[in-house]
Amino acid sequence: MTEAVMTLNAGSSSLKVALFPLEGDAPLASGLADRIGPEGVLKLKRADGSPLDLADSNLSTHAGAMRAVIASFRAAWPGLDVKAIGHRVVHGGDAYARPVIVDDAVMEKLEKLSPFAPLHQPHNLAGIRAAMEAFAGAPQVACFDTAFHRNHPWVNDTFALPRAMYDEGVRRYGFHGLSYEYIAGELQRVAPHLAQGRIVVAHLGNGASMCAMQNSNSIASTMGFSALDGLPMGTRCGQVDPGVLLYLMDQRGMSAAEISDLLYKQSGLLGLSGLSNDMRTLEAAGTPQAAQAIDYFVFRCQREISSLAASLGGIDALVFCGGIGENSRLVRARICERLGWMGIEIDHSRNGANDMVISSDLARTSVMVIPTNEELVIARAARAAIG
């Protein structure tokens, strides 16, 4: 019998999964059910990268995708016993500062947070329901992207709006907390002298944000009330003057749904370039619009790093993670090239080799590249829930 915990990250049309043993950090298997619906596709692989045989299935719903994943895992590991399932949940509000076992009362609270994250939360909860159906009796553990930021100083947690709005939940929550929690743990392992200092972590990917950490705790984040704020992203706008939204409503007659679609799905790198939300495509394109999209992304990253360093009273290290942060040598070099006044100077040969430490030997501020692992954070929480 193989005893394991499973991790799930449910999106609007996808289900990212991983299967971990009860001990050890290496997953037994991982994969993705993508384009859930009539054209759904399932890809699963073992720890060594070899493909896993797939069970015949109907991928028209999240529940169907879950059944397909389970059947495939059980065919590969007869007698598989899944002891707990950990879930990425984008929003935990101000109620949850750590993972929690889901029951009816917790689900009710999480459903009430759906208006705070309308494009993420409902799908996260659909994943939990699908897992409850598939694993009746196994603990379902919700792990929150907001939890890592719950101890922000008040000035980094509020907006300059009437205080009653803060009390009803209109505040800066911050996101990507599972990624930042992993990076904080890795820093404690590989560079404990830095982990106690002032760190800016840049999680750069299709979703992008930054976090200021001191002594491994979140002090400030570029994302605020929603996952729209701060840096430009693949299709999301990042920081925008609220007056623009009033203009779109008053002068162009756009509805809330139309504005939501614009800000979440048509903006960012895609909107600026008119070509793609993928940084790799933009780097290779050679068009003026693609170059301008990269320029804007780099500029905003430089600006936010500077702002977060100010919130810390200085900076000891800059850490890159996420798809762009871990893989784009160009973007890392471009971001760092105007931050010499902060003691940042990269070694271009180290950067080109994707070394963990890419700063020069003489740099006052360390610059590192640490691949993030949100699934492992979730798996550890699921293990902890069952002792």
> Which residues are part of the catalytic machinery?
145
CA-CA distances (angstroms) from residue 258 to 233, 251, 264, 265, 381? 19, 14, 10, 10, 38
9 touches 375 (CB < 8 A): yes
CA-CA distances (angstroms) from residue 181 to 69, 167, 187, 222? 27, 26, 10, 16
Phi, psi of 173 (to 5 degrees): -90, -40
Q: Residue 372's closest CA among 186, 173, 144, 99? A: 186
- Sheet with strand 198-203: strands edge to edge: 217-221, 209-214, 198-203, 317-321, 366-369
AA letter at 330:
L
Q: Residue 291's closest CA among 347, 344, 334? A: 334
- What is the C-alpha radius of gyration for the chain, rounded to an integer number of angstroms? 21
Strand-strand pairing, 3-10 and 15-21: antiparallel
Cα torsion through 119, 121, 125, 130, rounded to 10 = 30
Give the separation between CA 146 and CA 144, rounded to whole angstroms.
Answer: 5
- For the chain, helix (H) and strand (E) counts, in that order, are 15, 12
Q: Quick one: DSSP state of residue 233?
A: -
Give the separation between CA 366 and CA 315, rounded to whole angstroms.
Answer: 9
For helices 121-134 and 62-76, the axis angle rounded to 10 degrees is 50
Q: Residue 224's closest CA among 183, 166, 279, 266? A: 166
119 touches 40 (CB < 8 A): no
Name, in order, each residue with C-beta under 8 angstroms of 54's C-beta and a sequence gap of 6 or more.
42, 44, 68, 72
Give the separation between CA 294 and CA 40, rounded to whole angstroms.
Answer: 32
